[in-house]
Amino acid sequence: MRYAETGYNLEIDLSRGNIERVETDPKLTELHLGGLGTNAKVLWDRVAPETEPFSPDNLLIFSAGLLCGTPAPGANRTIVTTYSPQTLLMGYSMMGGFWAPELKHAGYDKVIIRGKSPNLVYLSINNDKVEIRDASHFHGKGAGETADLIRQELKEPRAQVAAIGLAGENRVYFASIEHGRSSASRQGIGAVMGDKGIKAIAVRGTKDINIARPAEFIKLCNEVLKYIQHRQNNPVPGVMPILAVLGSPQEMKLVDEEWHTQNFMWGNARERKKDYWNKEIEEKWKETQENVRKRLISCYNCPVQCAATISVPGLSTYMMKCFSKLTYTMAAFSDLDFGFRIAQRATEYGVDGYSTPQVMAFAIELYEAGILTDQNMPGMPSDNEGRFYWLLDRIVRREGIGDVLANGTYWAARQIGKGAEAYAHNTIKKHEQLPLKLGMLNPIYFLMYSTGEKINITQIEGQFPQAPFPAKEEREEFVKDWIQVPDEKFKKYFLDWEPRGERSMPYYPTVEMCCEIVDWMERMHYIDDALGMCAGLSSFPLKPPYHIHNYPAFISSATGIDMDEAGLTQVTKRNRTLLRAVNVRRGLRRADEKPPEDHWKKRFPELEAKLLDEYYKFKGWDNQGIPTKKSLRELGMDYVSEDFEQRGIIKNEQGEEESQGHQDRC
């Protein structure tokens, strides 16, 4: 019997119209757990690195994490993986909500899609009955509207539906997959779904999921629920409200936006408005938010309620959470009311709430700089809000200049030329990032941003505070109940961290400490993404209920796999290295590993080079960020080094000496 997982994947070949239920290898679960880990293995094994994102040979994998559907609170993430049209690297984007648990209850861990359908279709998965159904009548429909229509058509009101809107159908590089209660937005996952000709996947499942040692598992779940309650009632003192509790930033509850509006950038990540916030705006925004916010909602099996249903008069209801509340407002130099209105249209179109506003603000900047002209923008309104709607409509339809902008700022700038590249300045690995510009280089986040395979600065934050606390007493108080640290030394690093002086950024934490801190924070993300756990209850907040000390017991009691902290660390190291290997095979090298140029005003090139040198060494990678033969062998991944050798990425028997050679050349 298989525990926690179902032991079956659904394999769909759209070119042939073929559907197969395939038993999976339990050994892979021991090596990679599930979710992102096994997705990376499937991609490594089955998609040649030369494959274009829009090739029928590219796979689109929807995976439930290993613990999804079990009673573990917050285990509900779907991890969608493919080659991204925007970064050209392995893209993975996660959505919460209810889709992944439903898939597990239907009897599957993953849906692996290959080929392309000649006509628009949708998949209907209802336990053992799986169909590829015609979706031509949904062409051009909004993502939420499509989900409603499919539930009606199937007469299955409880089906969980993940759908694309017009943007995905038209292969907009920042198209999202929407699921009503969440979305997989980053890296153009929705464009690949559209390219394959799938409008939606509807899932309904009623089967049980087996747990190896139920009594032990439920006890652990209850402890987590108790801790969530405790943390929500006792916010961490001394940090911003969004970091003090659990979940994703509680933007649907918070109304005080002084910090965001005065510290984040407006427009295309260019301009700060230091005196924006005042009493009048606070009251107006509070009223706006309270008028449109109908209900706070949670994902499957979670009490935290990070999201809300938003209902703007005259528009259909949609879900919002997190910082997308402000991305459109601030990009358009507008008002919160505008942000809520345009986000409804954008959600139906199915576009990423971080990239899209920046792409539009980028277009307006180019227009104002004379790089784009009236000829490129015929009929564009003169007011900012009108311009944003005008641009959004053209981007999702790929009409006129919208066809160029639909490729995102990096690619659009290169197509437009005439100096447009200078305006596409807020990307990492060709992907737009949160418009945040700071003063002093933060060495921890320099490494996280530069090297993170998630390529998304809003989803890689971690359990080590982002800045030192001013007073020693505050730090001492903070470490008292800091049970999540994997090692006591992290408490000392934090206690000694000062806002000014010798032990301050950028030289403290030291390079060695930064490597260890980043490794810890990454480890937690890789565990979450394999288990399908919400980062908001684990890797993201400062003092979460899940951590390296209780995760092994969760995994063991759920799956029956013998797991301890060392074993779990080894699995995450393997998954981390495999993702790196997939991207190395796609051409990723050290030169690609950098944050947006002006993310920090004060930069330290020598220190940054040293940080990368030492971090690569710490990870067992060479000076180009390529895993060495030795480290691959330790992880049981000789198959990767053999492949690297065949492709000339590392050379023959002397792989490691060759890697050393890279260091000298750098």
Q: Give the integer Cα–Cα distance in Å for 75 and 69.
A: 7
Q: Which helix (H) or strand (E) holds 123?
A: strand 121-126
Instruction: Judge whether 4 and 221 are in contact, CB under 8 Å.
Output: no
Residue 552 contacts ligand SF4 per CB under 6 A: no
SS3 94: strand
In single-letter form, the type of residue at position 88 comes to L
Q: How far is CA 445 from CA 89, 187, 197, in A?
A: 21, 20, 38
Among 142, 165, 180, 247, contact with ligand SF4 (rule: CB under 6 A): 247
Q: Give the integer Cα–Cα distance in Å for 624 and 592.
A: 10
Q: How many CB atoms lie within 10 A of CB 643?
A: 17
Q: Which stretch binds ligand SF4 (CB under 6 A): 243-251, 267-275, 610-618, 635-643?
A: 243-251
Query: Could you tell me the smallest distance in angstroms from the CB atom of residue 199 to ligand SF4?
Result: 25
Tell me whether residue 98 or residue 174 sits nearer to ligand SF4 (CB atom): 98
Query: Could you tell me the smallest distance in angstroms from the CB atom of residue 201 to ligand SF4?
Result: 20
Q: Give the integer Cα–Cα distance in Å for 503 and 2.
A: 51
Residue 555, burial from CB neighbour count under 10 angstroms (0-12, 13-18, 19+): buried
Q: Which of 257, 227, 226, 221 is nearest to 240 (CA)?
A: 257
Tell me whether residue 74 or residue 596 sits nearer to ligand SF4 (CB atom): 74
Angle of helix 511-531 versus helix 605-619 axis, rounded to 10: 50
Query: Could you tell me the smallest distance in angstroms from the CB atom of residue 231 to ligand SF4?
Result: 11
Please tell me what DSSP assigns to residue 461.
Answer: -
Q: Tell which positions 462-521 bind ligand SF4, by CB under 6 A.
A: none
Residues near 279 by beta carbon (within 8 Å), at least 6 away in sequence? none
Q: Give the integer Cα–Cα distance in Å for 414 and 398.
A: 17
Instruction: Judge whether 580 and 418 are in contact, CB under 8 Å.
Output: no
Helices H, strands E: what count in the chain?
Answer: 26, 19
Residues near 292 by beta carbon (within 8 Å), at least 6 away in sequence? 310, 311, 312, 340
CA quadruple 509, 511, 516, 520: dihedral sign: positive
Residue 220, burial from CB neighbour count under 10 angstroms (0-12, 13-18, 19+): buried
Among 82, 176, 298, 575, contact with ligand SF4 (rule: CB under 6 A): 298
Number of residues that bind ligand SF4 (CB under 6 A): 15
Query: Could you tell me the smallest distance in angstroms from the CB atom of residue 515 to ligand SF4?
Result: 29
Q: What are the residues facing 431 on neighbouring strands?
A: 428
Among 132, 537, 578, 582, contact with ligand SF4 (rule: CB under 6 A): 537
Query: Could you tell me the smallest distance in angstroms from the CB atom of residue 304 to ligand SF4?
Result: 4
Query: Could you tell me the smallest distance in angstroms from the CB atom of residue 157 to ligand SF4?
Result: 22
Q: Give the integer Cα–Cα distance in Å for 302 and 326.
A: 25
Query: Could you tell me the smallest distance in angstroms from the CB atom of residue 533 to ligand SF4?
Result: 8
Among 36, 302, 563, 626, contact with ligand SF4 (rule: CB under 6 A): 302
Query: Could you tell me the smallest distance in angstroms from the CB atom of residue 391 to ligand SF4?
Result: 30
Query: Could you tell me the smallest distance in angstroms from the CB atom of residue 536 to ligand SF4?
Result: 4
Structure tokens at 79: 């991890």
Helix locations, 135-210, DSSP H: 143-154, 166-169, 189-195
Residue 347 contacts ligand SF4 per CB under 6 A: no
Q: Which stretch binds ligand SF4 (CB under 6 A): 100-108, 254-262, 294-302, 598-606?
A: 294-302
Query: Could you tell me the smallest distance in angstroms from the CB atom of residue 63 to ligand SF4?
Result: 17
The 93-112 contact track toward ligand SF4, x by CB under 6 A, reads ---x----------------
Q: Which stretch binds ligand SF4 (CB under 6 A): 115-123, 240-248, 557-565, 628-636?
A: 240-248
Q: Which stretch binds ligand SF4 (CB under 6 A): 24-32, 302-310, 390-398, 520-528?
A: 302-310
Q: Give the integer Cα–Cα distance in Å for 314 and 303.
A: 31
Q: Which stretch binds ligand SF4 (CB under 6 A): 241-249, 397-405, 438-446, 522-530?
A: 241-249
Tell me whether residue 14 or residue 457 sits nearer to ligand SF4 (CB atom): 457
Among 265, 304, 521, 571, contact with ligand SF4 (rule: CB under 6 A): 304
Residue 536 contacts ligand SF4 per CB under 6 A: yes
Tell me whether residue 179 or residue 345 sits nearer to ligand SF4 (CB atom): 179
Residues near 32 by beta carbon (within 8 Å), at least 6 away in sequence? 38, 40, 41, 530, 571, 574, 575, 578
Query: Could you tell me the smallest distance in angstroms from the CB atom of residue 97 to ligand SF4?
Result: 8
Q: Which stretch binds ligand SF4 (CB under 6 A): 188-196, 495-503, 530-538, 641-649?
A: 530-538
Among 299, 320, 460, 579, contact with ligand SF4 (rule: CB under 6 A): 299
Query: Could you tell me the smallest distance in angstroms from the CB atom of residue 73 to ligand SF4?
Result: 8
Q: How many CB atoms lie within 10 A of CB 307?
A: 24
Q: Which stretch binds ligand SF4 (CB under 6 A): 106-114, 142-150, 194-202, 534-542?
A: 534-542
Query: Could you tell me the smallest distance in angstroms from the CB atom of residue 308 to ligand SF4?
Result: 11
Query: Could you tell me the smallest distance in angstroms from the CB atom of residue 340 to ligand SF4?
Result: 20
Tell me whether residue 76 or residue 539 sits nearer to ligand SF4 (CB atom): 76
Among 74, 197, 465, 625, contact with ligand SF4 (rule: CB under 6 A): 74
Tell me whether residue 168 or residue 247 sits nearer to ligand SF4 (CB atom): 247
Q: Which of 496, 493, 514 is nearest to 443 (CA)?
A: 514
Residues binding ligand SF4 (CB under 6 A): 74, 76, 96, 246-248, 298-299, 302, 304-306, 534, 536-537
